[in-house]
Structure 1
Amino acid sequence: MTAAERFFCADAARARGDSLAGTAPYGSVWVLVEYRGGWPPNGFDGLDLDPRTKAAVFTAAHAVRARILLIRRHGRHSAAGHRRWAVLRHDDSGGHRQEWGTWSRDQDLAGIVGALDRPGETGGPPVVLVCAHGQHDTCCAVRGRPVGRALSERWPHQVWECTHIGGDRFAANVVVAPDGVYYGNLDAVSAVTAVEGHLADRIHADHLRGYTDLFPPQQAAVAAVLQRFGPAGRHDYTVVGTHRDDNCWRIRITGRPPHPAVVDVEVRSHRTPPSQLTCRGLSMSSAAVYEVTAVSVG
Structure 2
Amino acid sequence: MSASGRFFCADAARTRGDSIVGTAPHGSVWILIEYRGGWPANGFDGLDLEPDTKALVFAAAQAVRARVLLVRRHGRRGREQPPVWAVLNFEALGAYRQHWGTWSRDEDLAQIAGALGAPGRLACPPVVLVCTHGRHDTCCAVRGRPVSRALSECWPDLVWECTHVGGDRFAANVVVAPDGVYYGGLDAVSAVTAVRQHLAGFVHAEHLRGYTDLFPPQQAAVAAVLERFGPAGRHAYSVAATSRVAADHWRIRVDGRPPHPAVLHVEVHAHRTPPRQLTCHGPSMSRAVAYEVTSIRAR
State the TM-score, normalizing by the size of structure 2.
0.98
**Whole-angstrom CA distance in 1 between matches of 2:80 and 2:279:** 34
Q: Contact 2:2 / 2:8 at 8 angstroms: preserved in 1?
A: no
* Contact map agreement 1:81 1:104 (CA 8 A) in 2: no
Distance 1:148 1:297, change over 3 A: same
Indicate conservation of the 8 Å contact 2:84/2:103, yes or no: yes
Q: Residue in 2 aligned with 1:108?
A: 108
Structure 2 match to 1:261: 262
Relative to the length of structure 1, the TM-score reads 0.98
Corresponding residue number in structure 2 for 1:193? 193
Kindly provide the CA deviation profile for residues 33-52 of structure 1, in whole angstroms up to 9, marking residues without a partner as x.
00011100000111111111
The SS at the match of 1:194 is helix
- Please list every run of 5 or more consecutive structure 2 residues that lacks an aligned counterpart in the other structure: none
Distance 2:90 2:223 in 1: 19
Cα-to-partner distance string for 1:99-121 (whole Å, 9 max, x where unaligned): 00000110110110100111211
| Structure 1 CA distance for aligned equivalents of residues 166 and 76 of structure 2 | 24
Identity of paired residues, percent?
72
SS of the residue corresponding to residue 160 of structure 1 reads strand
Return the letter of the residue paired with 1:266: E
Deviation at 1:55, TM superposition (A): 0.5
Structure 1 residues 112 and 160 mapped into 2: Cα distance closer, same or farther (>3 Å)?
same
1:120-269 matches, within 5 Å, as: 120-246=120-246, 247-269=248-270
Structure 1: any 5+ residue segments left out of the alignment?
none
Deviations 1:132-176 (A, max 9, x none): 000000000000000000000000000000000000000000000
Aligned length: 298
* Alpha-carbon distance between aligned partners in 2 of 1:296 and 1:122, rounded to the nearest angstrom: 36
Q: Deviations over 1:37-85 (max 9, x none)?
A: 1100000111111111011000000000000000000013586651000
Counterpart for residue 279 of structure 2 = 278
Distance in structure 2 (CA, Å) of the matches to 1:135 and 1:217: 31
Instruction: State the secondary structure of the residue aligned to 1:250.
Output: strand
- Counterpart of 1:39? 39
Deviation string 1:263-282 (CA, Å, 9 cap, x unpaired) is 11100000000000000001
**Per the alignment, in what secondary structure is the counterpart of residue 18 of structure 1?**
coil
| Residue 54 of structure 1 pairs with residue 54 of structure 2 | yes
**Is the partner of 2:234 in helix, strand or coil?**
coil
Note if contact 1:22-1:217 (Cα within 8 Å) is conserved in structure 2: yes
Displacement of 1:2 in angstroms is: 8.5
* Partner in structure 2 of residue 296 of structure 1: 297
The one-letter code matched in structure 2 to 1:112 is I
Give secondary structure in 2 for the equivalent of 1:179: coil
